[in-house]
Amino acid sequence: MSSKSIAILGGTGALGTGLARRWTQAGHRVIIGSRSEEKALEALEDLRKVMAERGADAGGVLAMENLEAARAADLVVLTVPFAHQRSTLEHVKSALEGKILVDVTVPLMPPKVGTVQLPAEGSAGQAAQQICGDGVKVVSAFQNVAAHHLQEGQGIECDVLVCGNDKDARAEVIALIEDCGMRGFHAGPIANAAAAEALTSVIININRTFKCHAGIRITGTDSHGE
């Protein structure tokens, strides 16, 4: 896959910086986005320190306010909490037209994050598609991957369900998942994002019981096509 310019909105947390590190090491150009450029710069400085400790270079990573990051990127990834999904998308919507938006949002509603609570739209992925409109190719992915594992240096024993209405967009996101050291699987249209999002609450309960960072694995196939 050719090098992409990827903006990670809400990219200052463990999930966003974990993805940033892995995509940077895979040769992609990464932009960390945040509601303020100052917060993005702080996250970038922390990322550079962590990567330097591991013998890697984060010199090409940039930091910008969310809207500027979305404008500057070929592909945009949304990693904000569900409570900020709508406001963030409305803020950057004008910069998303014609692009792929990878929505990582899970509709967790504290304090009952271990209970499945899907939104009225059916899923956060469907909500994102409605907010952005048909001119944006929304792809839902990464809901069942622990940020803890993305921060580690090795490969991840976790598969990723990829949902979206555009098959080519899904395939492009699957290639990015492989660049992170995981397997991605075509899982159907954006309506099916409800299944992956609901699984997150199930996994939270497993993590609480076994004191672990669980994920999912697809068995019975060595491929990940349709």
Specify the pairing of strand 137-140 against strand 159-164. antiparallel
For residues 143 and 200, is the Cβ–Cβ distance under 8 A? Answer: yes
**Dist CA 26 CA 60 (whole Å):** 12
- Helix then strand then coil, in percent of the chain rounded to 5, is 45, 15, 40
**Dist CA 165 CA 43 (whole Å):** 33
Task: Please tell me the predicted confidence (pLDDT) of residue 218.
Answer: 96
Question: What six digits make up the tokens of 223?
Answer: 């491929």
Instruction: For the chain, 226 residues long, give each residue's pLDDT as a single digit of tens.
Output: 578 899 999 999 999 999 999 999 999 999 999 999 999 999 999 999 988 988 888 888 999 999 999 999 999 999 999 999 999 999 999 999 999 999 999 999 999 999 999 999 999 999 999 999 999 999 999 999 999 999 887 789 999 999 999 999 999 999 999 999 999 999 999 999 999 999 999 999 999 999 999 999 999 987 555 5
For residues 32 and 43, is the Cβ–Cβ distance under 8 A? Answer: yes
What residue type is assigned to position 41 of the chain? L
Contacts of 161 (CB under 8 A, 6+ apart): 140, 141, 143, 144, 184, 185, 187, 192, 195, 196, 216
Fold of 5-210: Rossmann fold (3.40.50)
Task: Please tell me the predicted confidence (pLDDT) of residue 97.
Answer: 98
Task: Please tell me the predicted confidence (pLDDT) of residue 225.
Answer: 52
Q: For residue 131, which of 161, 92, 170 has the smallest C-alpha distance?
A: 92
Task: Please tell me the predicted confidence (pLDDT) of residue 155.
Answer: 81
Task: Please tell me the predicted confidence (pLDDT) of residue 154.
Answer: 76
Task: Please tell me the predicted confidence (pLDDT) of residue 55.
Answer: 85
What is the DSSP track for 15-51?
HHHHHHHHHHHTT-EEEEEESSHHHHHHHHHHHHHHH
Using DSSP, state whether 212 is helix, strand or coil. Answer: coil
Q: Hey, where are the domains in the chain? A: 5-210
Neighbours of 70 (CB within 10 A): 27
